[in-house]
Structure 1
Amino acid sequence: MNQSTPMTTTSVRQAADCLKAGQLLAYPTESVWGIGCDPYNEAAVQRILAIKQRPQDKGMIVITDSITRLAPLLAPLNDAQRDAIVASWQTDSKRTDLQYKQAHTWLLPIPPKFADVIPVWITGQHQTVAVRVITHPMIRELCQQLVSAQNPFGLLVSTSCNPSGQPPAKNFTEAYAYFGEQISYLPAETLGYTLPSQIRDAITGSIIR
């Protein structure tokens, strides 16, 4: 199968191959569907911005599979800041009541030695990177497949699967209705979270969204 051609697949490995070949991929997250790509492929990121009609200066959320993998980005924070972030990523994975589960994205300052590791087309006009450890097991596995020398944090772009101004897709049917055969798809259920995802500043703890 030609991984450079958009496809619908239930194979995480095939989905990872699509991303590595520069494809855009729609996939389930905790509450809604996301659309993503290899964050180190500038052309792929620009395609997402184009089909979503989203300006680059807003920046892009990225996800990964492991708190440990992000340790170098968390290290410069103080204990209280780091504990709050880690607790937010651990708590939801342990909750059983979907009513209280919520995905948490944090704006992390980028340490100087990683300034060249996080692309400007991901950070936009910001000096931070918006990152989340995702709890969806299939997408965690997908992020693991993306780890490489260029992508040491196993990052995957994760912006809502919708054109700007439209509601995010909640399933494969809605995602396909938005983007058709322009992109690839990894059909599966979301985790059923009902609360919208939250974005917070790692330094101040303030809620951005």
Structure 2
Amino acid sequence: MNDEKLKEEVRKACEILRNGGVILYPTDTIWGIGCDATNEDAVKKVYELKHREDSKAMLVLLDDVGKLASYVTVPDIAYDLLEVNDKPMTVIYPGAKNMAKNLIATDGTIGIRITSEAFTKALLYRFHRPIVSTSANISGEPSPKCFAEISDAVKAAVDHVVDYRQGETANPAPSSIIKLGAGGEIQIIRK
């Protein structure tokens, strides 16, 4: 895909997100369902689309480590972990703030992944807010490993399907998941 096509897809997706819509988009792991992570109504739409209880938290994506402190309490160890990490890693942080209340776990935590994937990084940069990223499936069904495996029901339920990387058939690994305590305690959830 050329730069102009990428820019146009970012522009379209950004417009949908700003209007409280839901997108289907490629991430640094699998395809995701996303919305503005600061918009409670948009987050509710994602829970409804997935047929998922809103007590089950979803993660969000950011494009830059420097933006973390605007949304969570960042224990010092987090910066060290993010600096040495060489694959997608979701970190569950304490003290979530400035996000939709129905997105934050009951213990006040939220999972955030800093993305380096071209489309999501460009979208996040232009959007200026975190974006929800949850697997592109109905809860209880297997997570699709590529765009071709996403059900027609999910594709029809979103407001926009991003036209980028749809032909890829790779089987990306899920992110590792680490939970950090306010004092820097580390709990490995998924390697």
TM-score (norm 2): 0.81
Aligned length: 178
Provide the residue aligned with 2:139 in structure 1.
164
Q: Report the 3-state secondary structure (helix = DSSP H, G, I; strand = E; otherwise coil) of the residue aligned with 1:124.
A: coil
For 2:130 and 2:177, the matched residues in 1 are separated by 17
| Distance change (3 Å), C-alpha of 1:83 and 1:72 | farther
- Please point out which of 14, 29, 32 is paired with 1:31: 29
Provide the residue aligned with 1:16 in structure 2.
14
TM-score (norm 1): 0.75
Provide the residue aligned with 1:61 in structure 2.
59
Q: Report the 3-state secondary structure (helix = DSSP H, G, I; strand = E; otherwise coil) of the residue aligned with 1:201.
A: strand
| Distance change (3 Å), C-alpha of 1:76 and 1:48 | closer
Superposition map of 1:172-191 within 5 A = 172-175=147-150, 177-183=152-158, 184-189=160-165
Of residues 184-193 and 45-54 in structure 1, the stretch that sits farther from structure 2 once superposed is: 184-193
| Distance change (3 Å), C-alpha of 1:109 and 1:193 | farther
| Distance change (3 Å), C-alpha of 1:37 and 1:72 | closer
For 2:22 and 2:74, the matched residues in 1 are separated by 33
Higher relative contact order (CA 8 A, sep 6+): 1
Deviation, structure 1 residue 142? 0.5
For 1:191 and 1:104, the matched residues in 2 are separated by 22
Residue 200 in structure 1 maps to residue 160 in structure 2: no
Q: Which runs of 5+ in 1 are unaligned?
A: 1-8, 93-102, 148-153
Cα deviation per residue 1:34-59 (whole Å; 9 max; x = unaligned)? 00001122111111101111111121
Is contact 1:30-1:192 (8 Å) kept? no
Superposition map of 1:1-209 within 5 A = 11-72=9-70, 76-78=74-76, 80-88=77-85, 91-92=86-87, 103-110=88-95, 115=97, 117-147=98-128, 154-175=129-150, 177-183=152-158, 184-189=160-165, 192=170, 194-203=172-181, 204-209=185-190
Percent identity of equivalent pairs: 28
Deviation, structure 1 residue 82? 2.8
Q: Report the 3-state secondary structure (helix = DSSP H, G, I; strand = E; otherwise coil) of the residue aligned with 2:113.
A: strand
